[in-house]
């Protein structure tokens, strides 16, 4: 393990909870942010109506480990792809894991994972599992 | 029975059954506090003066028992389904279907670009065009959407939110081309912009500009559209964002107070505008308490309008309510069970005495409804309306000790919260400081924890879970060609219109935005010259700026 990696493991996991696109429903995003904070993570919430470019720029600036996208409008495939592409453009595809939460069918769950989304949280995902599953992504990364 | 013997009797009953009462399952109320096991007339014999003051008769102040004397024996509520998707043609087809099955109105769902004021060819609009509602860019879209429909005979509700003034302008310009005047339109509009900052997130301008445009609409519609209710004070967005029932009513009414104060400050007569307002609330499964909430809301409203705003006409005191049923009350697991949840919500609304209802398809948690789920949603309302005796007499729950106690308690808590917001300086301060948003986020987190822990039972979700995975629903497939078609239409529109004239009218809108003139007639003029929704919204964005979310 390199020194650099050791330093990263020591710090608290940083998560950017993001609302992408025009959908204004942020109840889930706020509950998720609250839950991850309670689990000891550092959580930044973007606020509403961000573009993929805004979100990735914020993620890189804030040096987060994970971007959590909350999408309830049904546009999750297009919007998640935009974020993955933007991460690739910024060369941060390997450093930052992308997870998606929202009203997502089993079919789209599989498609998202194939695209490179690390975790998908459907409606009623147990809150207790949220932080461990996010943490597992960060630990697996290191 | 005397007061004393009643109180003694209750105390003795509690003592006799103390062991049993100590072990009952706790039932959290809509108010957050646990429900008592029994409600009884602890105030003793019915006090005729208190009855007259707080309950009264249907159609009479304070309207606790309903806004009309005979209620549903006279006529049932307006049954609508929040509906619209794809483009004008696909929405028109669905509406024809719903009207043919006995819907007596339509409730237009607009896509997100329309709700935030972007034309369909805006780069950020493309993935959302026609997805959660119908795509609208110009007056022509409304001409096609309403083609062949009995516009003058039906109720039309336009759910455009922040962009309501622009959408109304495009709609009226389209109707004018078909020879229909504003005065012939019967319906309502969700113009309440403050709730967008509180909960819905589809804001554009800062609150000051939003309130000004709401007052413009109020003024315009009071003069020109006597059959149209342009300001539906909205609780549903607040409730579904995670608020409890008290916050739902209190925040919605605090927003209403702001509109009414601003309208009065502008010199509008309260009796001229009060009848243009109505309210909308959510109805979840605790249907007795939801009914009590509606009774309490009407009582609060009548006193607010008479005593605080000085309305003198009876018509100004009564609050018409539209119910929303569905939303977060509906579950993803075993979705067909939502038909029963919808029935409970519907019952709460009917027992509460509402004037209109939007009941969601049971697949709402997944997508916009299919023809089948839309039909079942309508049938649910019709069965409660025609086959049950919930509609047999006005306010059938009146006099229930439980419901009267809840009505009083809800009233007390809502008034306390409204007073808290007044002390803060009103709803705009409560929004700009993030107070309302924080309160709702806190409540949402608590609700989620209670539901996940099983403290709030949800059948097939946290208790009595079925075996295996939930079935994949058949969902309506979004039409990915909508954005392309809208883009082509916009290109043709811009090429075909008198560009100089359109720009001249948009410049006038900008100038009016900088001044104090009513913007509605000028927007309609822009719509007549084929200005698009996005163009009008952008012109005023240059004047008003944009809302900045408070950090939470």
Q: Which of B112, B452, B552 sits opposite A126 (nearest CB)?
A: B452
Short-list B241, B244, B238, B343, CA closest to B29: B244
Q: What is the ipTM of this complex?
A: 0.86
Write the CB contacts of A47 (distance below 8 Å, at least 6 apart in sequence). Answer: A19, B549
Instruction: Tell me the C-alpha distance between B170 and B159, whole Å.
Output: 14
Q: Which of B113, B240, B241 sits opposite A22 (nearest CB)?
A: B113
CB atoms B132 and A74 under 8 Å: yes
Q: What is the CA radius of gyration of chain A?
A: 14
CB atoms B124 and A21 under 8 Å: yes
Instruction: Tell me the C-alpha distance between B22 and B59, whole Å.
Output: 42
Closest residue in B to A82 (Cα) is B127
Q: What is the pLDDT of residue B371?
A: 84
Tell me the shortest Cα–Cα distance from A78 to chain B, in angstroms. 7
- For chain A, which residues make up each domain, given as ranges? 12-141
Q: What is the pLDDT of residue B239?
A: 97
CB atoms within 10 A of CB B546: 10
- Written as tens digits, the pLDDT of chain B (552 aa) is 455 677 788 889 899 999 988 988 888 788 777 888 888 776 545 677 888 899 999 999 999 999 999 999 999 999 877 888 889 999 999 899 989 988 888 889 999 999 999 999 998 888 788 888 999 999 999 999 999 999 999 999 999 899 999 999 999 999 999 999 999 999 999 999 999 999 989 999 999 999 999 999 999 999 999 999 999 999 999 999 999 999 999 999 999 999 999 999 999 999 999 999 999 999 999 999 999 999 999 999 999 999 999 999 999 999 999 999 998 899 988 889 999 999 999 999 999 999 999 999 998 877 778 889 989 999 999 999 999 999 999 999 999 999 999 999 999 999 999 999 999 999 999 999 999 999 999 999 999 999 999 889 999 989 998 776 666 655 556 677 888 999 999 999 999 999 999 999 999 999 999 999 999 999 999 999 999 999 999 999 999 999 999 887
Tell me the shortest Cα–Cα distance from B202 to chain A, in angstroms. 6
> Is the per-residue pLDDT at A8 higher than 60?
no
Average model confidence (pLDDT) for chain A? 89
Q: Which of B112, B449, B475 sits opposite A22 (nearest CB)?
A: B112
Query: Chains A and B: how many Cβ contacts under 8 Å?
Result: 91
Q: What is the pLDDT of residue B466?
A: 77
Domains of chain B: 51-453 (3.20.20.240)
Q: What is the pLDDT of residue A75?
A: 82
pLDDT tens sequence across A82-107:
999 999 999 999 999 999 998 888 88
Q: What is the strand order of the sheet B186-189 is part of?
A: B82-83, B105-109, B155-159, B186-189, B228-229
Instruction: Tell me the C-alpha distance between B250 and B261, whole Å.
Output: 16
Tell me the shortest Cα–Cα distance from A8 to chain B, in angstroms. 27
Q: What is the pLDDT of residue B42?
A: 62
Q: What is the pLDDT of residue A2?
A: 41
Q: What is the pLDDT of residue B192?
A: 96
C-alpha angle B408-B409-B411 in degrees, rounded to nearest 5: 65
Q: What is the pLDDT of residue B431?
A: 97
Residues in chain B: 552
pLDDT tens sequence across A49-86:
999 999 999 999 999 999 999 988 778 898 999 999 99
Best B448, B451, B472 residue to mutate vs chain A (most A CBs within 10 Å): B448
Q: What is the pLDDT of residue B83?
A: 83
Q: What is the pLDDT of residue B172?
A: 98
Instruction: Tell me the C-alpha distance between B448 and B458, whole Å.
Output: 12
Q: What is the pLDDT of residue B348?
A: 98
Q: Which of A25, A79, A106 sits opposite B472 (nearest CB)?
A: A106
| A contact set with B (CB within 8 A) | 19, 21-27, 30-31, 34-35, 45, 47-49, 51, 73-75, 78-79, 103, 105-107, 122-124, 126-128
Confidence class for position A3, pLDDT limits 50, 70, 90: very low
CB atoms A34 and B452 under 8 Å: no
Cis peptide before A33 (omega within 30 of 0): no
**Three-state secondary structure call for residue B82:** strand
Q: Are the CB atoms for B524 and B173 separated by under 8 Å?
A: yes
CB atoms B461 and A73 under 8 Å: no
Q: What is the pLDDT of residue B474?
A: 55
Distances (CA, A) of B210 to B84, B166, B451, B501, B533: 25, 12, 36, 27, 16
CB atoms B127 and A78 under 8 Å: yes
Q: Are the CB atoms for A15 and A32 separated by under 8 Å?
A: no
B245-265 and B207-224 helices cross at what angle (nearest 10)? 70
Q: What is the pLDDT of residue B1?
A: 47
Closest residue in A to B363 (Cα) is A103
CB atoms B116 and A23 under 8 Å: no
Chain A residues within an 8 Å CB radius of B241: 25-27
CA B514 to chain centre: 31
pLDDT tens sequence across A29-53:
999 999 999 999 999 999 999 999 9
Say which CATH class A12-141 falls into.
Answer: alpha beta
Tell me the shortest Cα–Cα distance from A75 to chain B, in angstroms. 6
CB atoms A45 and B549 under 8 Å: no
Chain B residues within an 8 Å CB radius of A48: 201, 549
């Amino acid at each position: 393990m390199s020194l650099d990696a050791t330093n990263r493991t020591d710090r608290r996991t940083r998560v950017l909870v993001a609302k992408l696109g025009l959908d204004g429903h942020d109840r889930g995003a706020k509950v998720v942010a609250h839950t991850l904070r309670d689990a000891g993570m550092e959580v930044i919430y973007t606020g509403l109506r961000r573009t993929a470019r805004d979100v990735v720029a914020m993620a890189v600036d804030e040096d987060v480990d994970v971007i959590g996208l909350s999408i309830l409008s049904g546009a999750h495939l297009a919007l998640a792809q935009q974020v993955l592409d933007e991460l690739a453009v910024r060369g941060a595809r390997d450093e930052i894991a992308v997870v998606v939460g929202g009203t997502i069918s089993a079919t789209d769950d599989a498609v998202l994972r194939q695209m490179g989304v690390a975790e998908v949280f459907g409606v009623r995902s147990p809150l207790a599992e949220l932080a461990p599953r996010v943490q597992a992504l960060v630990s697996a990364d290191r | 029975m005397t007061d004393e013997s009643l109180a003694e009797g209750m105390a003795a009953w509690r003592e006799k059954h103390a062991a049993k009462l100590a072990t009952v399952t706790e039932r959290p109320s809509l108010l957050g506090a646990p429900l008592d096991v029994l409600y009884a007339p602890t105030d003793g014999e019915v006090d005729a003066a208190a009855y007259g003051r707080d309950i009264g008769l249907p159609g009479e102040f304070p309207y606790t028992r309903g806004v009309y004397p005979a209620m549903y024996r006279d006529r049932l509520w307006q049954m609508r389904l929040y509906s619209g998707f794809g483009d004008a043609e696909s929405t028109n087809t669905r509406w024809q279907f719903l009207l043919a099955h006995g819907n007596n109105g339509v409730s237009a769902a607009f896509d997100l670009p329309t709700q935030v004021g972007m034309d369909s060819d805006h780069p950020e609009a493309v993935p959302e065009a026609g997805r959660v509602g119908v795509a609208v860019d110009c007056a022509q879209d409304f001409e096609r959407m309403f083609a062949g429909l009995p516009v003058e005979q039906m109720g039309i509700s336009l759910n455009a939110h922040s962009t309501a003034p622009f959408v109304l302008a495009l709609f009226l310009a389209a109707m004018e081309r078909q020879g229909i005047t504003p005065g012939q339109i019967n319906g309502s509009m969700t113009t309440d912009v403050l709730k967008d900052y509180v909960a819905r997130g589809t804001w554009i301008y800062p609150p000051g500009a939003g309130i000004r445009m709401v007052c413009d609409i109020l003024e315009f519609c009071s003069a020109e559209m006597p059959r149209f209710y342009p300001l539906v004070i909205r609780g549903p967005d607040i409730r579904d964002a995670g608020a409890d029932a008290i916050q739902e009513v209190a925040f919605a009414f605090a927003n209403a107070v702001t509109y009414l104060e601003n309208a009065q400050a502008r010199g509008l007569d309260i009796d001229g505008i009060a009848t243009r307002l109505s309210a909308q609330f959510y109805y979840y499964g605790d249907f007795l308490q939801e009914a009590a909430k509606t009774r309490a809301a009407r009582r609060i409203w009548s006193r607010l309008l008479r005593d605080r705003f000085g309305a003198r006409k009876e018509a100004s005191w009564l609050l018409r309510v539209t119910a929303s049923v569905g939303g977060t009350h509906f579950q993803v697991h075993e979705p067909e069970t939502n038909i029963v949840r919808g029935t409970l919500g519907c019952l709460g609304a009917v027992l509460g005495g509402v004037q209109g209802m939007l009941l969601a398809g049971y697949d709402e948690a997944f997508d916009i409804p299919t023809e089948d789920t839309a039909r079942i949603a309508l049938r649910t309302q019709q069965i409660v309306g025609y086959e049950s005796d919930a509609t047999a007499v006005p306010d059938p729950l009146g006099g229930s000790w439980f419901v009267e106690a809840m009505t009083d308690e809800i009233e007390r808590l809502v008034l306390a919260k409204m007073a808290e917001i007044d002390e803060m300086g009103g709803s705009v301060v409560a929004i700009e400081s993030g107070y309302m948003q924080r309160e709702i986020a806190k409540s949402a987190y608590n609700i989620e924890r209670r539901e996940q822990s099983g403290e709030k039972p949800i059948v097939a979700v946290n208790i009595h879970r079925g075996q295996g995975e939930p079935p994949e629903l058949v969902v309506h497939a979004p039409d990915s060609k909508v954005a392309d078609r809208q883009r082509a239409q916009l290109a043709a529109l811009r090429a075909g219109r008198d560009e100089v004239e359109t720009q001249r009218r948009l410049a006038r809108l900008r100038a009016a935005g900088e001044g104090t003139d009513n913007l509605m007639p000028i927007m309609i003029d822009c719509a007549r010259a084929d200005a698009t929704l996005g163009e009008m919204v952008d012109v005023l964005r240059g004047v008003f700026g944009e809302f900045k979310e408070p950090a939470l």
